[in-house]
Amino acid sequence: MLFTKIRLGAIKTIIDLHTHILPQIDDGSDGVDTSLKILQTMAQHNVDVVCATPHFYRERMNVETFLARRAAAWQKLQPAMESFSISILLGAEVAYYSGISEEKELHSLCVEGTNTLLLEMPYSDWNSFQIDEVMSLAWDSGFDVVLVHPERLTVGSNKRWLDRLYSLPMQVNAGALQHWRTRKSALEILENTAKPLLGSDCHNMKSRAPNLWEGRKVVERKLGKQFLLDMDENAQMMLLSHFVSV
């Protein structure tokens, strides 16, 4: 059914590209009960597809260990998912590290069935080596690199790198659009990136609750209905290869 919706394109498919819904794997959901509450809230707001993207920090573990832990977390949640119409796709939020382009198992961290790699740039000052390596992942290695929540990272001198990075898809957090302090820069990024995308980056039901629909309202109000539809289509295209392969 979902594949049909994506093929038709004109029918709305709501995708949350960035979440921490898997239980007890990172600083996201603290257990299956929380995961289910998050997913129930998403279902009430007509979310169709959720990418489960736990943090991956190379300095803490290798890819193999991460994948084993992610599979264990998914096993805890999967039996309860039968009552949901939401599709879950496993992925990762990969924190950039020097040498990432040499990582042989990097493709395993993409959203399953796709080349879509959610990449979190460092919170410290970026340099030209890092920017070159990220661009090389996209242009030389064929990854569909999505920079996650750049609005949280482009403080101070990092802003000057944005012009080079705007050719990449960028995923803004819905929460950044809700707050007046961050709304302007979040909207600016959505307008400038080649492929604007939205995610909730939800972690729990309190301080980082699911809120994709709140962000969508702001996009529609500030940038227009067509912009929102184009953004939905961008998200569908990032995941299309998964749905055509199943």
Q: What is the binding site for Fe ion (CB under 5 A)?
A: 93, 201
Residue 109, phi then psi, degrees to nearest 5: -95, -5
Give whichever of 55 and 217 is closer to Fe ion, judged by the CB atom. 55
Give whichever of 2 and 23 is closer to Fe ion, judged by the CB atom. 23
Residue, CB closest to Fe ion: 201
Give whichever of 106 and 153 is closer to Fe ion, judged by the CB atom. 153
**Coil, strand or helix: which one is 69?**
helix
Minimal distance, residue 210 CB to Fe ion, in Å:
13
Buried-exposed string 166-194: b where 16+ CB fall within 10 A, e elsewhere: bebbbbbbbbbbeeeebeebbbebbeebe
Minimal distance, residue 90 CB to Fe ion, in Å:
14
Residue type for position 201 = D
Burial of 221 (0-12, 13-18, 19+ CB in 10 A): exposed
Give whichever of 18 and 216 is closer to Fe ion, judged by the CB atom. 18
Give whichever of 2 and 210 is closer to Fe ion, judged by the CB atom. 210
**Those residues with Cβ within 8 angstroms of residue 67's Cβ, 6 or more apart along the chain or in another chain:** 108
52 within 8 A of 89, measured Cβ to Cβ? yes
DSSP state of 110: S
Give whichever of 201 and 232 is closer to Fe ion, judged by the CB atom. 201
DSSP string computed for 134-160:
HHHHHHTS--EEEEE-GGGT--GGGGG
Minimal distance, residue 20 CB to Fe ion, in Å:
6
Minimal distance, residue 201 CB to Fe ion, in Å:
4
* Whole-angstrom Cα Rg for the chain: 17
Minimal distance, residue 53 CB to Fe ion, in Å:
6
Minimal distance, residue 5 CB to Fe ion, in Å:
26
153 within 8 A of 181, measured Cβ to Cβ? no
